[in-house]
Amino acid sequence: MARVVAWLALLAPLAWLGWRVQHDGLGANPIEALLLWSGQSSLILLLLSLTVTPVRRLTGWNEIQRKRRFLGLSAFSYITLHFLIYVGVDQFFAFGYILEDIAERPFITAGFAAWVLLIPLAVTSTRGWIRRLGRRWSLLHRLVYFAAALGVLHYFWKVKADTRWPLVAAGVLAVLLILRLPSVSDAIVRARSKLRSAGSRETSKGSAP
């Protein structure tokens, strides 16, 4: 089940893009539409990867934890695609102008910084790097929270007027970060234990002669 969810998350944005291309749904500015599609898709996947741990703690669905790395790498792939569309399709590899854009336009600065922060996380996502880094691996991979925040900020600054969906993304990120606080996480674990114990007692009473 977890594998199906992960692959659906990866392929759904491509299916949506294919449908839009098939029905001439990219509008008068297809490059802008591609940038928006790839940016939204990467942010959704990044938030989904951050959802895995809270879902496991809330539901006890441990199988889903195995797909966190898959979702994280999928998000990085879409973010990289987003960046390549900007560099190659939108700017035609005009690196001088691109560097000026990164330095002078805040929303591009935020997006570029988010991508850069995710590069070491993608590189060190293998089991070998996890063994080599030990405890430092967990510390390094906390950069994903900063990358996600920068991604939301990039989205918010980009759209300017219609900030509805960036604010939704910001709200989702805020909830995910709150659920990771030690006090909240411990409370969730205790609540699950109490529910499990209560369920076990009810089962025992029901099976008693």
Number of domains in the chain: 1
Q: What's the whole-number average pLDDT of the chain?
A: 88
Q: pLDDT by residue (tens digit) across 17-58?
A: 888 877 777 888 999 999 999 999 999 999 999 999 888 888
Confirm whether 204 is domain-assigned.
no
Mean pLDDT score, 152-164: 90
Confirm whether 143 is domain-assigned.
yes
Q: pLDDT by residue (tens digit) across 75-108?
A: 999 999 999 999 999 999 999 999 999 999 999 9
Confirm whether 42 is domain-assigned.
yes
- What gap in Å lies between CA 169 and CA 177, rounded to an integer? 12
- Give which of 127, 115, 144, 121 is closest to 52, Cα–Cα: 144
Confirm whether 94 is domain-assigned.
yes
Confirm whether 22 is domain-assigned.
yes
Q: Is the dihedral of CA 126, 68, 111, 89 positive or negative?
A: positive
Position 153 pLDDT exceeds 90: yes
Lowest pLDDT segment from 3-17, 80-94, 129-143: 3-17
Confirm whether 206 is domain-assigned.
no
Confirm whether 64 is domain-assigned.
yes
Print the domain residue range for 109.
2-195
Q: pLDDT by residue (tens digit) across 107-125?
A: 999 999 999 999 999 999 9
pLDDT at 36: 92
Confirm whether 209 is domain-assigned.
no
